[in-house]
Structures are given as structure tokens and as C-alpha cells.
Amino acid sequence: MKHIVNCETGELTLVEPTAEELAEAEANRIKTEEEDARIEAERAEAAAKKAAAEAKLAALGLDADDLKALGL
């Protein structure tokens, strides 16, 4: 349902959304889901890169504190 308010009279009218409005809402929902998935994939990739870098540092006998001490 779509709410339409007449600001002059305060009258509230409930109407069914049109097929076009429903299609637009569905397209927006899909677009939002795709964007959320892209953001989550970017976060997962960044976390994987960080874990790989930390593993490489550990293999060299270094940790994040060692890098901070070096100013990196």
C-alpha cells in the first residue's frame, strides 16, 4: 500500500502501487543486494590480503609491532 497525505486537509488515502512502481521497487532491491554483495566481497578480499601479509611477516619472524617500530 502507498500512503498519500493531503497536507491541506490532513486526509490520508491508501492506494495500491502501480505495476511500474512495484517493478522499480524490485529493481532497487536487487541493485541494493548486489551492491551489498560487492561491498562484502571487497571486505573479504581485504581481510584475506591482510591475513596473507601477516603470515608472510610471521614467516620472516616479524609481527605488526615490528613494522610499527620501523615506521611502516
Cell of 64: 605488526
Burial code of 23-50, b = ≥16 C-beta within 10 A, e = fewer? eeeeeeeeeeeeeeeeeeeeeeeeeeee
Q: pTM, whole model, 2 decimals?
A: 0.65
Domain that holds residue 9: 2-70
Number of domains in the chain: 1
* pLDDT tens figures, 6-65: 999 999 999 999 999 999 999 999 999 999 999 999 999 999 999 998 899 889 888 888
